[in-house]
Structure 1
Amino acid sequence: MIGAIEAGGTKFVCAVSDENFNIVERVSFKTTHPEETMKNVFSFFDSYKELKAIGIGSFGPIDINKSSTKYGYITSTPKPGWRDFNFLGEIKKHYNIPIGWTTDVNAACLGEYEMGSAAENKSCIYLTIGTGIGGGAILNGNFVEGFGHPEMGHILVKPHLKDNFKGWCPYHGNCLEGLAAGPSVEKRYGTKAQNLENNHEIWQILAYYIAQALVNYSLILRPEKIILGGGVMKGPGMLELIKEEFNVLLADYIEIPPVDEYIVKPSLGDNAGIIGGLILARKLAFESI
């Protein structure tokens, strides 16, 4: 048996599967304060005595630098109660098994790379656009990271000419997350995105910001595929609007695959993160095979 934790700022998902990723049990619960949330995690996994490894994909920022004194911590998150929380350390106190540790978007990226939309590719980027914006990248089976993990949601973008919103990111104001994540819509108009009409100008504005980011990622990382997930992508016609804006902004400067094959939605849907966590766990449990 192997386990996985998809730790989101809104909810946690925990799952146990066999080594072929046939899920035996899966639960989800609200992300509250660490003590209560971790109690729910332990209550779930304690039932499985034959667990060989757990893969964790966590909201962040997190410390993935193994030489750091805060390796395994959630660090500068604005999520109340979770700043400087030793997530990995708490798990290791309870389970003496290999534990994989990465970001939630890296886990989703791994799921799509191994079993989803990028299964035929050697490189990809996964971007989630929801309550926040985060991204992960894989090249030849390895996460793209160095001193820390990428923070793709906090790159700076040019304001849309019709958009006077100053952004909501507590660190940068009008970064990509501050202008295009789900909460930016409600802070602009006082209502959630799903309450706005399909032809509202906000969809074109959001597409413009996201397309700018995709151009930047394309120029720097040159991936074979970009996969877009998260709640904002469920907005009316978002994928097509983004591809249209992307083509205009890129202006044929570099060669990319056909855009309909290059910018896609996750084929694993909302399961990408938990499947990625299970893949991470399997690699740890059976790496000698």
Structure 2
Amino acid sequence: MTEAADRIVAGVELGGTKSIVLIGRGREILVSERFPTTDPATTLGVLAAKLAEWRDAYAPEALGIGSFGPIALDAHGADYGRMLATPKPGWAGADVRGALAEGFGERIAIHTDVTGAALAEGFWGAAKGLGDHVYVTVGTGVGMGIVSGGHPVSGRMHPEAGHVRVRRMPGDGFTGVCPFHGDCLEGLVSGPAIAARAGRPAQELDAHDPAWTFVADALAESFVGLFLTLACGRIVVGGGVGMGQQHLLPMVQQRVVAKLAGYLPFVDAAQVANRIVHAQLGDQAGPLGTLALAQTVLPAR
């Protein structure tokens, strides 16, 4: 998938606490506004109204929606574009796609905000030029967006690889904090998990705190699984924990090489620093992700 740098599209980033609506050309954001995410009727209504207001002025050709999840993404399913069971009050069953569709016909791409960020990093950031990569955000939770052959991966819904269980380090008795799975990846390496393990937030921990060894090992187990399953060219790491702890990525890289034990020729000691990298787009990854999503459904000229 390549960037359509000269075509105008619209985007909506629907977040858990705030939402952004924007118009862009390529990676240039022409205009944007943000609103608090409250109840579905209010939030989707104000976003739809803003899109309608801008439609005459900018004539966007397509719409990209990057949403918090979980959300149904099977285009043939009756619940396509609707929110699935979510802890956010009132949002289960909300018709996100339908509420924002007016004026765009079938030129709408909807996915998770994490997958949108993955596409944006592929178009303009740390995975530029690659057709196969994974974006992993490690913060309050763990989310993953997978791009294969230049296209975002989804099935009945979006990937939830942050909830896959990983092999534990010997002697690690931490039970994890995921309310569904306990010691899945998110339950071991997210911000709340680190705080529960160490007794204080991640940002207060010294780089040599033993908690980081467990975090790095769990992430390395997950990344080894991604490389073996997807043969992806790069894993891009973002999020408050992923980006906020500069010592963490080298620890993960070293463990990935050791765990693979020479099995994958493209992930060895000489190449691992180019295979596992920090994200580049920062807090623009979400909004730019909606523009990248919209570009995937642009009609041919």
Q: TM-score normalised to the size of structure 2?
A: 0.86
On the 8 A contact 2:130/2:150 being kept in 1, the answer is no
Question: Which residue in the other structure is 2:80 paired with?
Answer: 71
Q: Which moved more, 1:22-31 or 1:151-160?
A: 22-31
Structure 2 unaligned blocks of 5 or more: 1-7
* 2:77 corresponds to 1:37: no
Secondary structure of the equivalent of 1:48? helix
Q: How many Å apart are 1:213 and its aligned residue?
A: 0.4
Q: Report the counterpart of residue 253 of structure 1 in structure 2.
A: 263
Q: Report if the CA contact (8 A) 1:109-1:273 is conserved.
A: no
Q: Is 1:216 aligned to residue 225 of structure 2? A: yes
Whether the 8 Å contact between 2:224 and 2:260 is mirrored in structure 1 is yes
Q: 1:81 to 1:187 in 2, by over 3 A?
A: farther
Change (3 A) 1:108 1:255: same
Q: CA offsets, 1:117-157, max 9 Å, x none?
A: 22222211111111111112222222233333221101111
Report deviation, 1:236: 4.0
Query: 2:11 is matched with which residue: 4, 13, 26?
Result: 4
Unaligned runs of 5+ in 1: none
Provide the C-alpha distance between the structure 1 equivalents of 2:17 and 2:218, rounded to a whole number of angstroms. Answer: 24
Aligned to 2:5: none
Q: What is the letter of the counterpart of residue 248 of structure 2? A: M
RMSD: 2.1
Structure 1 residue 280 corresponds to structure 2 residue 280: no
Assess, with a 3 A threshold, how the Cα gap between structure 1 residues 30 and 236 changes in structure 2: closer, same or farther: farther
Of 135-144 and 101-110, deviating more is: 135-144
Q: Secondary structure at the match of 1:284?
A: coil
Q: Pick the aligned partner of 2:245 from 222, 232, 235.
A: 235
Task: Tell me which amino acid in the other structure corresponds to 1:242.
Answer: V
Partner of 2:129: 120
Aligned-pair identity (%): 35
CA deviation profile, 1:86-120 (whole Å, cap 9, x unmatched): 2112212x544432111212111111122222222
Q: 1:159 Cα shift?
A: 2.7
- Rounded Cα–Cα distance in structure 2 between residues aligned with 1:211 and 1:10: 31
Q: What amino acid is aligned across from residue 5 of structure 1 in structure 2?
A: V
With over 3 angstroms needed to count, the CA separation of the structure-2 counterparts of 1:96 and 1:121, relative to structure 1, is: closer
Alignment match, 1:101 = 110
SS in structure 1 at match of 2:44: helix
TM-score normalised over the length of structure 1: 0.90
**Amino acid of the residue matched to residue 145 of structure 2?**
G
- The reply on whether 1:197 has 2:209 as its aligned counterpart is no
Deviations along 1:59-85, whole A, 9 cap, x unmatched?
212111012111101213223332222
Structure 1 residue runs of 4 or more that deviate by more than 6 Å after TM superposition: none
Number of residue equivalences? 286
1:190, distance to aligned residue in structure 2 (A): 4.7
Q: Which moved more, 1:265-274 or 1:212-221?
A: 265-274
Q: CA contact under 8 A between 2:198 and 2:211: conserved in structure 1?
A: no
Q: How far 1:43 moved relative to its partner?
A: 4.9
